[in-house]
Amino acid sequence: MIDATILTESLLWCNGTQYLEVREKQYDQKVYLDFYTESTSSTPAVSNVLVYVASSDKKTNQNYLGPAPLEELAKQIVHAEGPSGPNRDYLFQLEKALIELGCKDAHVMDLAREVRCILSKEVR
């Protein structure tokens, strides 16, 4: 007899993974990591998190901007769009999720602030 809960969870995992494989196709590496919200913590907040990684190899990652000032990164994000929609929406959701997990990532927050600044200027 098949457990309906296990079957449902397996189908959700497969569908979710298929969705991510399309959405995250520009990333050239996948790794599973433990996520910590405190640098001094010995226990991860979440374990075995699937992370898609964009390497700096321009041959395998054609979207890699390279080392760039925050302003250049923000400009690219403002105008980038993928299968899931505008990149800026992803950035804003990432910022929100990290804050909800108790992780205030200065780079993500500064980048989101700069993207909002550019967008506010474009509206005028």
Q: Which residues are catalytic?
A: 24
The answer to whether 109 and 69 have CB atoms below 8 angstroms apart is no
In terms of C-beta density within 10 A (0-12 exposed, 13-18 middle, 19 or more buried), how is residue 44 classed?
A: middle
Cα angle vertex 77, ends 112, 111, to 5°?
Answer: 25
**Would you mind telling me the total number of residues written for the chain in this entry?**
124
Residue found under tokens 């699937």: 50
The answer to whether 114 and 70 have CB atoms below 8 angstroms apart is yes
